[in-house]
Amino acid sequence: MPQSSDYLIELKGICKAFPGVLANDDIDLKIKAGEVHALLGENGAGKSTLVKMIYGILKQDAGTIHFNGDLVDIKTPAIARELGVAMVFQHFSLFDSLTVVENISLGMDHSSDLATLADQITELSKRYGLPLDPHRHVYTLSVGERQRIEIIRCLLQEPKLLIMDEPTSVLTPQEVEKLFVTLKRLSEEGMAILYISHKLDEIKALCHNATILRLGKKVGTVSVADESTQSLAAMMMGEELKELKHPEAVELGDTRLEVKDLSLPADDPLGISLRNINLQVRGGEVVGIAGVAGNGQDELLRALNGEQRTLDSIDSIELEGKAVGKLNPNSRRVNFGLASVPEKRLGHGATPDMSLVDNAFLTAYQHLKLLKNGLIDYAKTRQFAEKIIADYGVKTPNSDVPAGSLSGGNLQKFIVGRELSQNPDILVIAQPTWGVDAGAAQTIRQAIRELAAKGAAVLVISQDLDELMEITDRIGAICGGVVSEFYPTSEMSIDKVGMLMAGVSLEEGVSDVA
């Protein structure tokens, strides 16, 4: 007989260990139907491990899961979906060359003809305010529209519990507002939502209750209405969140990075071509470029750091007044002190199978003189790697573990720390605090401001508008491979930046992008 319960799902004494780390230690979690429940914690606190057990990707070592009062054994995601659990992952799993309906069909447990499924998609998209054409190809969609595919795919399963992992990290402010309207409506209809985010303002705006994890243990469950963002951050970190301190204003130096009428055709059929980009960054300032993912950010970073050479217009990029279109990344780093942090961590920012020591060596060996008689000076390199780990709070058993074994947020801290610790003269950094907890994010932002105060020119490419508004001196946006005008950050608002992200000119109020 089914057991009655006040809770839709209840976790009791959940434990999960991996070699060298106890990821979840005696965790309890209760969620009622219709409740939006936040799961908070710093990187490595155990959030991802916990939700993977709810969704059947991992199996707990100890403890029980009850669903609608019944003890359940969630061995696979298929069993989770059968119970009524759906999950929208932070990274989408979509085929660009297929249509919306074809992608959704591939993710369904039960077969359905495409015409019927397309009608269901249209009906759900209208009902929940998630506009989506089932017959459009994915490569033509914005990132926000791609997220709608994942949400609609979940809703078609008629779930009782929807898990969302960092769902707003790829959305404009306007898209976030629309998403919250949808989630609140789902909650009012009785769906439980487990919401993971590092953005505490979002938690305050959306969630009823929050369970906080720290170092694999449960700190407590609180009513969000009774807490402030500062108190939530303090529970996550075990201490008060320090305010960002802007170093004393420095007199701006000469232009250290300049882009003049840069146009660069995409080298990928699904990539974004850059068009007539102009920007300047002077020594001592932080300039921000906002934008929804997939609008040319990666292409711009690769052009600036030399991975994509601008041979047809070698004068379009200048470092310290010198044209560098022919120079490769190493030459730009050695000759002009340029460092860059790409958005993609594994395979681009770090080599997953190599140790943290070896990854520290990759970009620092010349600047920090980590070679001795043609051989790697491992003592000095290890010292550098361990300094990064200590300074940036990277949670890892030691510096010899492979980079791929770290959580995304901890790897981000290591990569950013590796570059900032070399005190570059010019820094181009994409998504500096993506997936990073509140305390580490503040450490990174403070380090960026202090680097600029030393005279470095810093260009920050980010989807986090709060971050850009906090740390930049000037701000613009990229949309469809076109970069907007730049404005003093003190004169901008989130809504104005959101308009720039959508390709709308603040002066004319019309789209600048054909």
What is the average per-residue pLDDT within 389-407?
90
DSSP state letters, 412-457: HHHHHHHHHTT--SEEEEESTTTT--HHHHHHHHHHHHHHHHTT-E
Convert the pLDDT of each residue in 409-445 to its tens digit. Answer: 789 999 999 999 999 999 999 989 887 777 788 889 9
Convert the pLDDT of each residue in 193-205 to its tens digit. Answer: 999 988 888 899 9
Domain 242-337+424-514 in CATH 3.90.45.10: no
Q: Residue 128 has what pLDDT? A: 83
Convert the pLDDT of each residue in 47-59 to its tens digit. Answer: 989 999 999 999 9
Q: Residue 196 has what pLDDT? A: 92
Please give the share of the chain, as a percent, with pLDDT higher than 90. 61
**Sorting pLDDT into bands at 50, 70 and 90, what band is 168?**
confident
Q: Residue 225 has what pLDDT? A: 95
Residue 70 clears pLDDT 70, i.e. is over it = yes
Convert the pLDDT of each residue in 234-243 to its tens digit. Answer: 898 776 666 6
Write down the domain spans for the chain: 9-237, 242-337+424-514, 351-411
Q: Residue 316 has what pLDDT? A: 94
9-237 homologous superfamily: P-loop containing nucleotide triphosphate hydrolases (3.40.50.300)
Both tokens of 262, joined, read 């840069």
**Sorting pLDDT into bands at 50, 70 and 90, what band is 187?**
very high
Radius of gyration of the chain (CA): 24
Q: Residue 43 has what pLDDT? A: 74
| 474 bridge partner residues | 287, 488
Main-chain phi, psi angles of 210, to 5 degrees: -140, 135
Cα separation, 167 vs 202, in Å, equals 11
**Sorting pLDDT into bands at 50, 70 and 90, what band is 183?**
very high
What is the average per-residue pLDDT within 110-135?
87
**Sorting pLDDT into bands at 50, 70 and 90, what band is 145?**
confident
Residue 246 clears pLDDT 70, i.e. is over it = no
3-state DSSP of 65-122: EEECCEEECCCCHHHHHHHCEEEECCCCCCCCCCEHHHHHHHCCCCCCCHHHHHHHHH
Cα separation, 312 vs 22, in Å, equals 54
Average pLDDT, the chain: 89
Q: Residue 247 has what pLDDT? A: 66
Convert the pLDDT of each residue in 449-506 to its tens digit. Answer: 999 999 999 999 998 888 899 999 999 999 999 999 999 999 999 889 988 988 888 7
**Least confident range of 216-230, 314-328, 392-406, 428-442:** 428-442
**Sorting pLDDT into bands at 50, 70 and 90, what band is 249?**
low
- E strand or H helix at 310: none
pTM of this prediction? 0.73
Q: Residue 300 has what pLDDT? A: 94
Q: Residue 509 has what pLDDT? A: 52
- Domains 9-237 and 242-337+424-514 equal at CATH topology level: yes
Residue 356 clears pLDDT 90, i.e. is over it = yes
Cα separation, 406 vs 43, in Å, equals 10
